[in-house]
């Protein structure tokens, strides 16, 4: 975990205007309650800026701070009382670093179930400004999700041997564009991508990871080809050099076979996002850019029940391909970092 402590409290003032615009986009209004949710490792300037801005737009604004989770020497902190408070808010700004409101957690599902909106904010100031929510990105993401939702078959191919097909009949399209603007919505700022949970037993074929592709959870750009065999939705083989060894052992360390099951698939939509950020900033910060890069193809394994799937494991592994082709019902949607249909660009 990367923790940067600010050198001056004036940073909060620099952030205030941008944060106020973000809360306005999230439709925080004068009859709502906004909770700024933090822990003991949260950048205090971010908390101060959000709290000050929330006071301007909401009827009630306050901060809840918890110890860094999962716990201390005395054991894990019981967050159930805090969750009950979060459920009473209209908008929760999640600045925690310990993953209490992890996307695939039952805790987050509980908070969202009553209509509370949750906005996760983890980016650096540079990322937040450079990839501030943009209407063109939002519309491109929504249009892509509608196209994805209407499709039945997904196929991913590459010139180096990837040929992976799956079904998604009835599964919804999910969007991230950096704004939590409707009841029960979770989003993360900055973001710009879309995805869906395919039918868990439907994926079959071969997935090739090429040099320059990204093993997100390992914070590692692929150095040499990795061949992943998939049968009936589950990884059956991971072959190659060091990258393959690391990926296979990372999947195995959860001790849960559901970590090897297809989770979600989609593509990136933000041309302002930078692929190289993982190399420059590390996984925690850089992956937010990489996931959003325009025209990438993302394939994940593990948890997906927050996306309308059935896999409830806590394990999750994101893989991002830079030069893949993404097809929906035979129509090419993405190819070599480009979004092909004019209406989706």
Question: How far is the C-alpha of 217 from the C-alpha of 303, rounded, in Å?
Answer: 14
Q: Which helix (H) or strand (E) holds 166?
A: strand 163-167
Q: Which CATH class is domain 11-121?
A: alpha beta
* Phi, psi values for residue 219, rounded to 5°: 60, 40
> What is the predicted pLDDT for the residue at 72?
46
Looking at residue 77, its pLDDT comes to 65
pLDDT digits (tens, 9 = 90+) for 316-333: 999 999 999 999 999 999
Burial 276-305 (b: 16+ CB within 10 A, else e): ebbeebebebbbbbbbbbbbbbbbbbbbbe
Does the pLDDT of residue 79 top 90, yes or no?
no
**Whole-angstrom distance, CA of residue 289 vs CA of residue 274:** 5
Mean pLDDT value across residues 12-34: 95
pTM: 0.92
**Which residue from 132, 113, 116 is spatially nearest to 124, judged by alpha carbons?**
132
142-173 pLDDT tens trace: 999 999 999 999 999 999 999 999 999 999 99
Q: Which helix (H) or strand (E) holds 139?
A: helix 135-150
182 Rama class: left (phi>0) / alpha (psi -120 to 50) / beta:
beta
Instruction: Check pLDDT > 60 for residue 228.
Output: yes
Higher local confidence (pLDDT), 67 or 340: 340
Quote the CA–CA distance of 50 and 65 in Å, as a whole number. 14
Contact of 77 with 48, CB cutoff 8 Å: no
Say how many CA atoms lie within 13 Å of 158 toward its Cβ. Answer: 23
What pLDDT, on a 0 to 100 scale, did the predictor assign at position 8?
56
109-136 per-position pLDDT tens digit = 999 999 999 999 988 899 999 999 999 9
- Which residue spans of the chain are classified as CATH 3.40.50.2300? 11-121
Task: Output the pLDDT for position 202.
Answer: 98
Q: What is the pLDDT of residues 272-331, one digit of tens each?
A: 999 999 888 877 778 889 999 999 999 999 999 999 999 999 899 999 999 999 999 999
Say what the pLDDT of residue 2 is: 46
């Amino acid at each position: 975990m990367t923790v940067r402590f600010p050198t001056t409290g004036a940073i909060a003032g620099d952030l205030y205007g941008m944060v106020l615009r973000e809360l306005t986009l999230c439709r925080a209004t004068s009859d709502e309650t906004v909770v700024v949710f933090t822990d003991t490792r949260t950048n205090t300037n971010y908390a101060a800026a959000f709290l000050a801005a929330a006071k301007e737009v909401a009827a009630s604004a306050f901060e809840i701070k918890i110890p860094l989770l999962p716990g201390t020497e005395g054991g894990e902190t019981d967050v159930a009382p805090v969750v009950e408070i979060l459920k009473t808010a209209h908008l929760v700004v999640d600045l925690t670093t310990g993953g209490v409101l992890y996307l695939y957690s039952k805790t987050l599902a509980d908070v969202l179930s009553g209509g509370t909106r949750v906005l996760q904010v983890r980016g650096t100031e540079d990322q937040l400004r450079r990839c501030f929510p943009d209407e063109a990105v939002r519309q491109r993401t929504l249009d892509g999700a509608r196209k994805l939702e209407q499709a039945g078959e997904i196929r991913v191919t590459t010139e180096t041997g990837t040929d992976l097909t799956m079904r998604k009949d009835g599964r919804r399209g999910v969007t991230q564009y950096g704004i939590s603007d409707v009841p029960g919505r979770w989003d993360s700022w900055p973001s710009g991508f879309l995805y869906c949970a395919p039918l868990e037993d439907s994926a079959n074929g071969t997935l090739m990871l090429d040099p320059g592709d990204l093993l997100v959870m390992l914070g590692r750009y692929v150095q040499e080809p990795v061949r992943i065999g998939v049968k009936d939705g589950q990884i059956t083989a991971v072959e190659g050099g060091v990258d393959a060894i690391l990926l296979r052992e990372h999947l195995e360390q959860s001790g849960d076979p559901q970590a090897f099951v297809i989770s979600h698939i989609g593509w990136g939509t933000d041309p302002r996002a930078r692929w190289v950020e993982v190399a420059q900033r590390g996984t925690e910060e850089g992956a937010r850019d990489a996931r959003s890069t325009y025209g990438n193809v993302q394939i994940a394994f593990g948890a997906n029940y927050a996306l309308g799937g059935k896999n409830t494991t806590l394990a999750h592994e994101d893989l991002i391909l830079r030069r893949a082709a993404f097809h929906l019902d035979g129509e090419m949607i993405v190819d070599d970092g480009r979004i092909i249909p004019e209406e989706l660009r």
